[in-house]
Amino acid sequence: MYTLKECTCSKVICSRRPKRSPPAAETAPLKENIVSKNFLPVSLDDSQAYYELWQRTPQRSLDYTLANLWGWQDYYGLEWCFDDNLCWIRQTRPYQICWAPVGDWNAVDWKRLLPCSFSETAHTIVRVPEKLLHTWQEHLPGLVDPEEDRGQWEYLYKQEELADLPGNRYHKKRNHYNSYIKTYGEPDYHSLDDAMVEDVLAVQDDWCQWHECEQSPSLRAENEAINRVLSHWNCFTGLVGGSLYVDGKMVAFSVGENLDGQNLGVHYEKGLNGFKGVYQTINCTFSRRAGEGFTYINRAQDLDEEGLRQAKMTYLPADFLRKYKVSIRKA
């Protein structure tokens, strides 16, 4: 029997904790960097401190939600440090490199902090949202070298288009949706809560068995992230979810998060094999029900996987949350 984990969270600032040596990385392009900051593994104990900074962040990427950071903490060896009125984030696996900091980017003295806080010469940061790049370019003219990272761009869709599948552009998606209704009746949709987590994880387990997750490191890591986050559902602010049932059995689920009141991000979406049109139906119904009141649905990046990119493009994104790999040189 599945048991939901109790959530106990407290505000702890890592700069007040005893120093420890950072873990060794397999390969470390930045092994000499970040020597001046005391990083610790991403933890739910620091959730309050993180959410306070997250609320001040001018552009909120799905990558930087607490659910995403904590879910993938083990896979990427994610660590953070609360300092300079920011949350600095770095990954230590499979190599060591920094992600973008979280907090009010417009209230920071970047000339003082970068790159000297990390290296005597230069500092490289990945998954940098476009607004932060522009902030750095303004405050550090001539010192910022961006590189477009297309695989990390997050797909933004108009909520009303995913919810309604209007016009000829969506006729194939609408046909799959209508086929589902013809076979199984009107979608039996239920919003998720912690009492339904056991059913969600049962669907995830069935999905993993069908897709042989144990044979794929990335699918195995995703499965672990899903189980980790959902088993601590009550620890996260803003999580929303929806599910489809057929004859009393859950056949699909979607889990998302309110990013900023305008954008609803989608963390996970799974459907059982053998239910024709189930993906189009959970996508459409979740966008309509959970997405009501939002302008955009953020359906994450494609990680340069060609098949995933093609699938995401078929839903006709309205825009992207662009991200970059950025090198910042010392003046």
> How do residues 135-169 score in pLDDT, each as one tens digit?
999 999 999 999 999 999 999 999 999 999 999 99
Res 27 pLDDT > 90 = no
How many angstroms separate the most distant Cα atoms in the chain? Answer: 66
Spatial neighbors of 7 by CB under 8 A, at least 6 apart, are: 44, 232, 234, 235
Which segments of the chain does DSSP mark as H helices, in order?
A: 47-54, 66-71, 73-76, 110-113, 130-139, 159-164, 171-184, 197-211, 217-230, 278-289, 306-313
Sequence ranges of the chain with CATH classification 3.40.630.30: 14-153+323-329, 154-300
Is 3.30.1330.10 the CATH classification of the domain at 14-153+323-329? Answer: no
What confidence tier does 61 reach under pLDDT thresholds 50, 70, 90?
very high
Which pLDDT belongs to residue 114?
83
> How do residues 241-290 score in pLDDT, each as one tens digit?
999 999 999 999 999 999 999 999 999 999 999 999 999 999 999 999 99
Mean pLDDT of 119-128: 80
Res 123 pLDDT > 90 = no
> How do residues 167-224 score in pLDDT, each as one tens digit?
999 999 999 999 999 999 999 999 999 899 999 999 999 999 999 999 999 999 999 9
Q: What is the residue-wise DSSP string for 243-306?
A: EEEETTEEEEEEEEEESSSSEEEEEEEEE-TT-TTHHHHHHHHHHHHTTTT-SEEE----TT-H
Phi-psi region of 127 (alpha: psi -120 to 50; beta: other; left: phi over 0): left
Is 3.30.360.10 the CATH classification of the domain at 154-300? Answer: no
- Report how far residue 88's alpha carbon sits from residue 225's, in angstroms, rounded to the nearest whole number: 21
Burial class, 176, CB count within 10 angstroms (exposed 0-12 / middle 13-18 / buried 19+): middle
Instruction: Tell me which residue of 149, 39, 148, 151 sits closest to 92, measured CA to CA.
Output: 39
Q: Are 261 and 69 in contact (CB under 8 A)?
A: no
Mean pLDDT of 214-239: 95
Which pLDDT belongs to residue 23?
38
What confidence tier does 75 reach under pLDDT thresholds 50, 70, 90?
very high
Q: Are 263 and 295 in contact (CB under 8 A)?
A: yes
Mean pLDDT of 82-110: 95
Which pLDDT belongs to residue 194?
86
- Report how far residue 142's alpha carbon sits from residue 274's, in angstroms, rounded to the nearest whole number: 56
